[in-house]
Structure 1
Amino acid sequence: MTDFLLLAFIFLVAGVFAVPIASRLGLGSVLGYLIAGIVISPILALLGVDVIAIQHFAEFGVVMMLFLVGLELEPKLLWQMRARLLGLGGGQVVLTTLAVTGIAMAFGLSWQVSLAVGMVLALSSTAIVLQTLNEKGLMKSDGGQSAFSVLLTQDIAVIPMLAFLPLLAAPGFVDTAGVGTDILIGAATGDAGGDHGGGAMSLVEGLNGWQTALVTLAAIAVVVLGGSTLTTPLFRFISAANLRELFTATALMMVIGIALLMSLVGLSPALGTFLAGVVLANSAYRHELESDIDPFRGLLLGLFFMTVGAGINFALLFENVGLIVALTLGLMLLKAAILLILARVFNITGADKWLFALGLAQAGEFGFVLLSFTVSASVLPAALADQLLLVVALSMLLTPVLFILYDRIIAPRYAGSDDREMDAIEEDNHIIIAGGGRVGGLVNRIVQAAGMQATVIDFSSARLAALERFGVKHYYGDATRPDLLHAAGIDEAKVLIIAIDNREQITELVHYVHSTHPHVHIIARATDRDHVYDLWAMGCRDIIRETYDSTLRMGRSMLEALGIPTDRAEAMIAEFNAMDRRSMLALAGAHKVGVAPHENEEYIARVRSYVTDMAPVLQTRVTAHRDGRDPDAEAPLEDPAAN
């Protein structure tokens, strides 16, 4: 018990300290976990810890992650992705395998060994890539969706690879098959790649081909039918106990049970749980499952990343540092080049193609499984497998660095560019709307309903193409560029409505227009309360918080649902709104641009004072409206100008 507690404490301390530091430095949580694993590796070695066994357990985080990814995808959406799953994903696996095989043969390896190496290195890291894409909010981008398609195809490809690799066995490796396998991460049995090897439990052992296929299809049918028909009754039964922990236990039971069933029939547990997630994507209990599983997924993935760092064999690395580094960089360059070619074929452009290529340039965790399997199956010699293990681990270690390269160098270069040329603006309206999305588009409809015209500028060529099919005319261009604003008529404009999404760009545009065209009335969209203060400091005096008005309407609906008459509910909300505006004005003077509110002592002092003085006044006035009394008689407000 003491050993277990000590080990858990070491990993938790490493993660708790390393990840916040890495995130604060802009390195991301994945690199923080990897560095934490490297730092504690000497301690683990001193304690004689079996890192392999820990990683074997932690890889279940990948299974949970794919279950959660599946919950975000409806079957219809997955069907729409079939072209990229087959073309983009299949092309990446085949082309990378062939390219690595050819290079390995050129260096004198047999075609059997070369092909095995090609299959091992063709795979990428589902855990690192999906975690980083979600963390950076890039999952919904074209590059993120393309990367996900490839990763899903790779997870499927592991199954035929595990079936095919034993056919490449070389008898000469039998005597050395067991040498060095203790440092290989993963095992050929019971892992995320499926159960293989003697002695493992299996429902298909001893069956012929068609019987195995029948059992496998039956297992998939159980997952699909069970997920669609049994989940709702099961959770209704569990809810009768009214215990939160039972929901969590049930969610874990489902994921573990599906993973177990897939393992027993020789399929990938990760693929099985992904399929179950897709089936449950339309379930009423989808969000309940997400909230219950996500904490375990995060902890296990963090542990997995730390074991990758801790599992690096530095002694072997230092002995062959030139060779290992060259192989790692060569592999990543080769995979990136192939991915860029595929991106061009499948029309992935701009920054997305680089996100796609750099994000998938590494080898992956399933490579650990295949390496162990190839050694035990006498396909690869242990010495070569040891070196390849380092290549896989180092490429995973370098992946967060590639994402940083994308964030800081590549993405900014594409932020102000697109393959499409800026439109020539021919209109000369007195209203300019920067951003034609859900906010700017609605404002433009109001303008048109009032019998006026606005010049709408948007930087999404895809959105503009879609709107043109409905006869809506917007201009393509970057509204933050002074030359484009001049072409749009900012010199003669009366109103500029800023409805773009990027907070920094909104602030910069407000500052530029206020300082160079002070005659223009600026109406700016603010993302939150702090952004309001930033825009106020830049000179804007007509600021709309993007969720504020809808929140007031929800609050009024809540009051009416409680039985308060509509007129009184409206008066109560109006009172709250007026008081909030007074507080914004009172606190704006203490705001400092670039300083977080919780680190601004003057701002904190004003908030505390305002809450102490005005919160009771607000409550008195709102309850007076509720009860039909005169709020000015009970809690009169001073004229703000008097202060």
Structure 2
Amino acid sequence: MTNIDDVANMLVPVIMVLVFGIAATIASRAMRFSPIIGFLLLGVLIGTWDHDLLSAGSMVRLLAQLGVVFLLFDVGLHFSLTHVREQAVDIFGFGPAQVIAGTAALAGAAWLFGLPPLAAGLVGATLALSSTAIVANIIAERHQRTCPVGITATAILVFQDLIAIFLLILATADQSGGALAALGTALLKAVGAFALTVFAGRVVARPLFAWIARRGGDEVFSAVALVIAMAAAWTAAESGLSLTLGAFLGGMVVAESPFRTIVRSEIGPFRVLLLSFFFISVGASLDLRALASSWAVVVAITTGLVALKIATNTLSALVFRWSVPGSFQLGFLIAQGSEFAFVIFGLEPTRQLIGPALASELIAAVALSLAITPMLSAAGRQLAGRLRARATRNEFLELHAKGEAGPVLIIGMGEIGRTIADGLTEFGIGYDAVERDERRLTRGLADGYHLVFGNATEPRFWRAIDLHSRRFSVSTDATTEGMRDAQPAAEAFYPGVRQLSVVCDEDAAGELRELGLEVVVERDRPLGLSAARYLLKELSVAAEEIERWSVRQRLLA
């Protein structure tokens, strides 16, 4: 009975935070604010009312940490080895430039205000880091993962997570020669972890998920995704690296397989729910007593921190040939402090080095900078928009497309789906395809089609496949029953996406038209040619070019 009572007592704060979180989300949406702001303000209120609710050992704190783990796992799902190679300049060029510039400016300011060089250097380097959790969530919320600002910001944050590990080692190392050896060991561990990620992605993940696709179900994908995310984070932490870096590398393991999209859809609900606990805990970390007693100092530190980081971030972007508008948008987006600052400034050696009072003020300033990040990033975006409105789009190199979603989503890659994909490829039109059958998936990938595994009738899958950014969703094996269930939700959530169904008989076409769907009846050879011609015409391809391509396809059939 005692055990049952203990479990019930542990659930009380979780239920309370969930209820308040739902209310904060609804209120934020009603006032057209980001829900992050609502969660942060809720955290401030909870911290003032009952700080023990979010104490270090509580269930809520554990759920908050898991939220960050799943967020970084999700970020890793977008960073395959190919992506890392493509973003090498940002990760290993732009990232170091941003950290060095920020560290120099902030350490210089700390030294001018009386800190000795060693203490000023540690403070500057710590404050130069940005918040992976908050920035990554803002990028996801704005659907900026595939745009240059989102891609580059994520690459910089990945590099910063590596730097944070080394800062933690320096902050806890003794003043003898042991620090250098510890840094070398950490570097070797990071390289080893990356090599293991590449091996696991290539050798383990693909055959494992292929086996699950043949014998398991969606619930098995959920379980495996949870295991990979938490096991990778735990392994990294036990090896002396960080939970966040481990979760990111776990996501990279899955990113090497065509099953990454369904995994992303399976962990999505966990990530969104648990992240709310994290943002609430950040708000609760604001020490209102410290703010009340030295509010002027905290506000001044926050203002200086944000201003210097905007300046150094913007200058770093300009060095890498970004436009002025793009540089400002990126500069504002990553102008806050990092969650790692709470750890580093809370360590006893750090507090002795810089003084307990200053450590508390810095923690409060970083928390305040996190709280204002949604507003800061929105201001940077608006400023960039105004500056771009005065010039032509061609001036901005960083606006050139990078990995954006194709306008067409093909559901089912049998003969019809392949013909549609061939037509789109012929005219340089991007597409992505979803296939539920593992054998079709394997054959399609072998033949060079852009294909992922998943069940496109599941609403939670639509966000993972970026349905919001498509013009057409083409179902090549639609059934009346399946479309009757999916069509109303798809139309409600994605009214700008045209739903096209391809069938082979008039009876099925009539039933689907009654549901309000566009329908193409296949009467041509090869199967899918009629649908491909219809799509190409709707996508403004010249009729003469479509006809020439169609003739070639009929000859090959």
User: If the TM-score is normalised by the length of the shorter chain, which range does it land in?
Assistant: 0.5 to 0.7
Query: TM-score if structure 2 supplies the norm length?
Result: 0.67
Query: 1:230, CA displacement in angstroms?
Result: 2.4
Structure 2: gaps spanning 5 or more residues: 1-6, 396-405, 409-468, 472-489, 522-557
- 1:338 equivalent in structure 2: 312
CA distance in 2, matches of 1:229, 1:245: 23
Query: Does structure 1 residue 78 correspond to structure 2 residue 84?
Result: yes
Give runs of aligned pairs for residues 442-453 of structure 1, distance below 5 A: none
- 1:293 equivalent in structure 2: 267
Query: Does structure 1 residue 253 correspond to structure 2 residue 227?
Result: yes
- 1:416 equivalent in structure 2: 389
Give runs of aligned pairs for residues 589-604 of structure 1, distance below 5 A: none
Q: Would the aligned equivalents of 1:67 and 1:276 in 2 still touch at CA under 8 Å?
A: yes
Give runs of aligned pairs for residues 398-437 of structure 1, distance below 5 A: 398-406=372-380, 409-414=382-387, 416-419=389-392
Query: 1:277, CA displacement in angstroms?
Result: 2.1
Q: Quick one: which of 142, 148, 152 aligns to 1:146?
A: 152
Query: 1:399, CA displacement in angstroms?
Result: 0.5
Q: Quick one: which of 328, 333, 336 aligns to 1:354?
A: 328
Q: Would the aligned equivalents of 1:220 and 1:272 in 2 still touch at CA under 8 Å?
A: no
Query: 1:76, CA displacement in angstroms?
Result: 1.6
Query: Does structure 1 residue 317 correspond to structure 2 residue 280?
Result: no
- What one-letter code is carried by the residue in structure 1 that aligns with 2:33? L
- 1:89 equivalent in structure 2: 95
Query: 1:38, CA displacement in angstroms?
Result: 1.4
Q: Return closer, same or farther for 1:67/1:572 CA change in 2, 3 Å cut-off.
A: closer
Q: Return closer, same or farther for 1:347/1:531 CA change in 2, 3 Å cut-off.
A: same
CA distance in 2, matches of 1:577, 1:150: 48
CA distance in 2, matches of 1:208, 1:333: 34
Q: Return closer, same or farther for 1:43/1:102 CA change in 2, 3 Å cut-off.
A: same
- 1:22 equivalent in structure 2: 28
Query: Does structure 1 residue 59 correspond to structure 2 residue 65?
Result: yes
**1:299-337 deviations in whole A, cap 9, x for unaligned?**
221101101111211011100011110110111011001
Query: 1:249, CA displacement in angstroms?
Result: 2.5
Q: Return closer, same or farther for 1:335/1:243 CA change in 2, 3 Å cut-off.
A: same
CA distance in 2, matches of 1:320, 1:155: 30
Give runs of aligned pairs for residues 500-579 of structure 1, distance below 5 A: 547-548=498-499, 551-552=500-501, 554=502, 556=503, 560=504, 569-570=505-506, 573=509, 577=513
Query: TM-score if structure 1 supplies the norm length?
Result: 0.59
- 2:107 equivalent in structure 1: 101
CA distance in 1, matches of 2:515, 2:261: 36
CA distance in 2, matches of 1:134, 1:396: 17
**1:155-206 deviations in whole A, cap 9, x for unaligned?**
1111222233345869xxxxxxxxxxxxxxxxxxxxxxxxxx9xxxxxxxxx
Give runs of aligned pairs for residues 131-170 of structure 1, distance below 5 A: 131-166=137-172
Q: Would the aligned equivalents of 1:336 and 1:361 in 2 still touch at CA under 8 Å?
A: yes
Q: Return closer, same or farther for 1:529/1:275 CA change in 2, 3 Å cut-off.
A: closer
Query: 1:410, CA displacement in angstroms?
Result: 2.3
Q: Return closer, same or farther for 1:102/1:502 CA change in 2, 3 Å cut-off.
A: same
Query: 1:350, CA displacement in angstroms?
Result: 5.3
**1:574-623 deviations in whole A, cap 9, x for unaligned?**
68659959xx9xxxxxxxxxxxxxxxxxxxxxxxxxxxxxxxxxxxxx9x
Q: Would the aligned equivalents of 1:70 and 1:275 in 2 still touch at CA under 8 Å?
A: yes
CA distance in 2, matches of 1:132, 1:245: 28
109-118 vs 216-225, greater mean Cα deviation: 216-225
Q: Quick one: which of 121, 131, 143 aligns to 1:125?
A: 131
- 2:415 equivalent in structure 1: none
The percent of aligned pairs where both chains have the same amino acid is: 30
- What one-letter code is carried by the residue in structure 1 that aligns with 2:139? L
Q: Would the aligned equivalents of 2:131 and 2:370 in 1 still touch at CA under 8 Å?
A: yes
Query: 1:226, CA displacement in angstroms?
Result: 2.8
- 1:111 equivalent in structure 2: 117
- What one-letter code is carried by the residue in structure 2 that aligns with 1:140? T
Q: Return closer, same or farther for 1:22/1:169 CA change in 2, 3 Å cut-off.
A: farther
Query: 1:406, CA displacement in angstroms?
Result: 3.8
Query: 1:12, CA displacement in angstroms?
Result: 0.4
- 2:368 equivalent in structure 1: 394
Query: Does structure 1 residue 50 correspond to structure 2 residue 55?
Result: yes
- What one-letter code is carried by the residue in structure 2 that aligns with 1:89? G
124-133 vs 62-71, greater mean Cα deviation: 62-71
SS of alignment partner, residue 312 of structure 2: helix
Query: 1:221, CA displacement in angstroms?
Result: 3.9
- What one-letter code is carried by the residue in structure 1 that aligns with 2:133? A
Query: 1:360, CA displacement in angstroms?
Result: 0.6
CA distance in 2, matches of 1:379, 1:87: 31
Q: Return closer, same or farther for 1:319/1:168 CA change in 2, 3 Å cut-off.
A: farther
Query: 1:42, CA displacement in angstroms?
Result: 2.9
User: What is the total number of aligned residue pairs between the two structures?
Assistant: 422
Query: 1:573, CA displacement in angstroms?
Result: 2.6
112-121 vs 216-225, greater mean Cα deviation: 216-225
246-255 vs 110-119, greater mean Cα deviation: 246-255
Q: Return closer, same or farther for 1:218/1:95 CA change in 2, 3 Å cut-off.
A: closer
Q: Return closer, same or farther for 1:547/1:12 CA change in 2, 3 Å cut-off.
A: same
Q: Return closer, same or farther for 1:2/1:290 CA change in 2, 3 Å cut-off.
A: same
CA distance in 2, matches of 1:418, 1:502: 27
- 2:432 equivalent in structure 1: none
Larger Rg: 1
CA distance in 2, matches of 1:363, 1:52: 24
Q: Would the aligned equivalents of 1:219 and 1:265 in 2 still touch at CA under 8 Å?
A: no
**1:231-285 deviations in whole A, cap 9, x for unaligned?**
3444466567746544322221112211122122212232233233223223132
SS of alignment partner, residue 274 of structure 1: helix
Q: Would the aligned equivalents of 1:165 and 1:374 in 2 still touch at CA under 8 Å?
A: no
